Amino acid sequence: MSPDEVLAELTALQAGDLPTHGGATMAYVYDSGLSGLEELAAAAQAAFQWTNALDPTAFPSVARLENDLVGAAARLLGGGPGTVGTLTSGGTESCLLAVLSARETWRARGRAGRPRLLLPVTAHAAFRKAAHLFDLDVVDVPVDPTSCRAVPAAVAGALDEQAALVVVSAPSYPHGVLDPVGEIAAMAASAGVPCHVDACIGGWILPFLDDVPEPFDLSVDGVTSLSVDLHKYGYAPKGVSVLLTATPELRHAHWFTTAGWPGYPVVNPTLAGTRPAGPMAAAWAVHRWLGDDGYRELARRTRAATVALTAGASAIEGLRVVGTPVATLVALAQEGPRRGRRAESRRRDDRARLDAAAPAVVRAGRRRPPGHAAPDRDRRDRGASGGVARRPHRGRMRGGGAPPAGRRPGPRRGRRDDRPHHPHRRRGGRAARGGRRRERPAARAHGAGARPGLGSPPTGGRAAAGRRAGPGLPAYPVTPCSRAQAATAAATASATRRSSGLGTM
């Protein structure tokens, strides 16, 4: 094959991917919309694509890139004279290393038993992954059911000899609210427990805003480490993150070193050995080009879009903003059930009111970049002829009998004949289960990066839902998917793995 044919094949593979530009894809990509930024990042990444960051003595340029980016993050996020840091592959690895450092520090103190991770229920799942990998017990810290912020009193009650690390979010990913960092960090410090601030999504935007309610970074007494992603609102390509630690000792705790084998001495500051230098170079180039003034302008425009979205949503009857968003994440909750044709009419009216309240935000979010056609929403319902193919009524309702008089035949509800019944599946409605009416699913939206000439930055949404509280745990909103969404995702993943030769899940 020729190089052009290989590239054409790669392009064809992307045909089913979500667009990475134009603000139509939330959470996965962060598009600044600035002309020239993508070309600069691509050129920098290509220049370092063969460089191995495993050994900075062989490639001293890598050490310069890492020192510059860590220094920039430390200056931006309240670092002191002893602050050091590490470049990682992403937010998850930064969180993993923070937990690993805390566990090693806890062990070095001669503690017995299993260490515990004090984790707000709204903290990112990467910390639960870290607890699983590094053998820590998770102590779930409840959040206030109204503000969705971690409850300091609950943290105080869990600070014992087994506590190895306390985590707070700035902001939390599910709701975009800022945990009481100062209060919780002070409690942790008085108990001799490290405190980590997860600022992966907010760390490169909050410092450039004027309306942040309270300090959250390393300048706060008791904060010992902080993570921030450069591939989010630092607008660098995937994947680059920074883990800052208040002292060199905390950084040494997550390093791995050995000379106990016949090969070369191994010094790994991260979980990986070989590390690609290309993303580091791209992040370095983007940071050098934008500078503080460029980041400040992007942050303020993105925040303005978020505020407009919040105001528009708040004007809709039956819809409320969850907590007090401080950056670019917004969680919306719908109160009360809506069913039938009247509900659909209300939803259309709500969408119209939201358009009127925040036209630049919503309409920009619907805009698609050139070359990306709008998806056929009826694709799954169309037959080969292009017409709508409806499944015929099977003639019997669940439990026997014909359809009620006056009711149009339609697709059969409930269990299909060709699908085996699960013995533990619950039957009956809410009344039969004795359940209570719960809050309707919430929606969460990102304020994405601004695009010049398109007005305010685009936004999007994602579903969230209420969760029933356990013993001693207040009700708190989280963001699970529905059973149907989970089944669809699992089936899609399984089919993808089979078609790619990876086997089944």
pLDDT tens across 331-386, in order? 999 886 655 555 555 555 554 444 444 433 332 333 344 444 444 433 333 333 33
Helix (H) or strand (E) holding 85: strand 84-88
| Model confidence pLDDT, tens digit, residues 79-131 | 999 999 999 999 999 999 999 999 999 999 998 899 999 999 999 999 999 99
CB 185 within 8 A of CB 221: yes
Rounded CA-CA distance 29/17 in Å is: 12
Determine the angle formed by the axes of helices 278-314 and 340-357, rounding to 10 degrees. Answer: 110
Mapped onto helix, strand or coil, the DSSP state of residue 307 is helix
Beta-bridge partners for 139? 118
The better pLDDT of the pair 461, 122 is held by 122
b/e for 266-298, b at 16 or more Cβ within 10 A? eeebbbeeebbbbbbbbbbbbbeebeeebbbeb
The span from the CA of 123 to the CA of 167, in Å, is 8
Question: How many other CB atoms are found less than 10 A from the CB of residue 261?
Answer: 8
Q: Which CATH architecture has domain 32-258+266-291?
A: 3-Layer(aba) Sandwich (3.40)
What is the rounded CA–CA span in Å between residue 34 and residue 371?
Answer: 19
Instruction: Identify the sign of the CA torsion 274, 194, 322, 335.
Output: positive
Q: How far apart are CA 22 and CA 365, in angstroms?
A: 8
pLDDT in tens, 28-39: 889 898 989 999
Tally of helices (H runs) and strands (E runs) in the chain: 13, 14
Tokens 């054409």 belong to 8
Q: What are the boundaries of each domain within the chain?
A: 32-258+266-291
pTM attached to this predicted model: 0.69
Q: Which residue has the tokens 């890598």?
A: 62
